[in-house]
Amino acid sequence: NKGNYEHYMQKEIHEQPESLTTTMRGRLIRGGTCKAKTVLLGGLKDHLKTIRRSRRIVFIGCGTSYNAALAARPILEELSGIPVTMEIASDLLDRQGPIYREDTAVFVSQSGETADTLHALEYALQNGALCVGITNTVGSVIARKTHCGVHINAGAEIGVASTKAYTSQIVVMAMLALAIGGDAISNQARREAIIDCLFDLPNKVREVLKLDQEMKDLAKLLIAEQSLLMFGRGYNYATALEGSLKVKEVALMHSEGILAGEMKHGPLALVDESLPIVVIATHDACFSKQQSVIQQLHARKGRLIVMCSRGDAAAVSLGGACSRVIEVPQVEDCLQPVVNIVPLQLLAYHLTVLRGYNVDQPRNLAKSVTTE
């Protein structure tokens, strides 16, 4: 049921304030006078000790689910102190990469049915790792075969391009980082700030959804382009990858997510006055580095579309050098990817409709890929 919306993807983008609320329901504890703010993930509470003792945490997934894990990686590293590595499921299998008994392997899958992820799970089980699922589908094969896990409870997702599952996956993995981090005094203030921010996150997503018309206008500007680059780094490298995946999947436009730190090692050669480039430069510890990236792209006459935190427009637009500035509300750095992806989802959606393609069932793609 699409309700008042024309497409499932549109509905699922706009229902993110609600899906995020459902994801967090019953799992955040505000804390009374003597109780600390904390998170409770029912499916993991008996396994946290084992996870904390693991030598490494390995995230495994495909497509959008992989990108969500990438977005959550920095906060998991920070709060757990455990090395976190990333594996695209098919690549882990191609290499038969090492997985050990001392590893915690986290399988991220909206459907819980993706063949590559499932086969990687079977491989990790054989190797004796603790296998944790982050899934949206209760009763799915990955949910059943993992030792434990967390349901993201985002509600059924119908559009082939994943939107609301992505933001709920990031929130669950941020909660996972909080749960593994436990109650160490050293990062108590940081943890409480993140929990406060989680409570308010649905409101921030509601705010950023108001950019709908602005993103439609931007889509009109980009409708006939051949290609669109997206530069991100730190917490928002994943935003660049996921934003470009959305554009590619549904708008059928070539798009590449680029790690801004790699700019000089190749991508800079592509920059000219015609190729549009989105730079994600919201306020965090990498901000000044991103400002310098903007300057260098501008020096090569790049056609820049910059996403920045509200109030930073002047600091990123180089006196009107950028063709567009997208201002978003600022949240805790580790949750900023949840806010930042929304305008890019809207952009991909409008680009697709304007270009006349099928939004909910893009050419050649399937919602759940059950063959390798």
Position 143 contacts ligand UD1 (CB under 6 A): yes
Choosing from 39, 60, 70, 150, the residue that interacts with ligand UD1 (CB under 6 A) is 150
d(CA 91, CA 112): 18
| Residue 64 interacting entry, from ligand UD1, ligand BG6, none, C-beta within 5 to 8 Å by type | ligand BG6
What does 111 interact with, of ligand UD1, ligand BG6, none (CB < 5 to 8 A by kind)? ligand BG6
Residues contacting ligand BG6: total by CB under 6 A? 16
- What does 239-267 look like in DSSP terms, one character per residue? HHHHHHHHHHHHH--EEEEEEGGGGGGTG
Are 242 and 64 a contacting pair, CB within 8 Å? yes
Q: Does the protein bind ligand BG6 through residue 345 (CB under 6 A)?
A: no
Question: Of 105-164, which residues contact ligand BG6 (CB under 6 A)?
Answer: 109-111, 114, 117, 160-162
Give the interface segment with ligand BG6, choosing from 180-188, 204-212, 218-226, 364-372 (CB under 6 A).
364-372
Nearest residue to 233 via CA among 94, 137, 150, 333: 333
First to last CA, the chain: 31
Phi, then psi, of 282 in degrees rounded to 5: -75, 165
97 touches ligand UD1 (CB under 6 A)? no
User: Could you say which residues in the range 37-56 bind ligand UD1, by CB under 6 A?
Assistant: 42-43
| Minimum CB distance to ligand BG6, residue 107 (Å) | 9
**Distance between CA atoms of residues 53 and 130, nearest Å:** 11
Check binding of 62 to ligand BG6 (CB under 6 A).
yes
When asked if residue 67 is in the footprint of ligand UD1 (CB under 6 A), the reply is: no
CB atoms within 10 A of CB 323: 15
| DSSP H or E run through 156 | none
Residues that bind ligand UD1 (CB under 6 A): 42-43, 133, 135, 138, 142-143, 146, 148-151
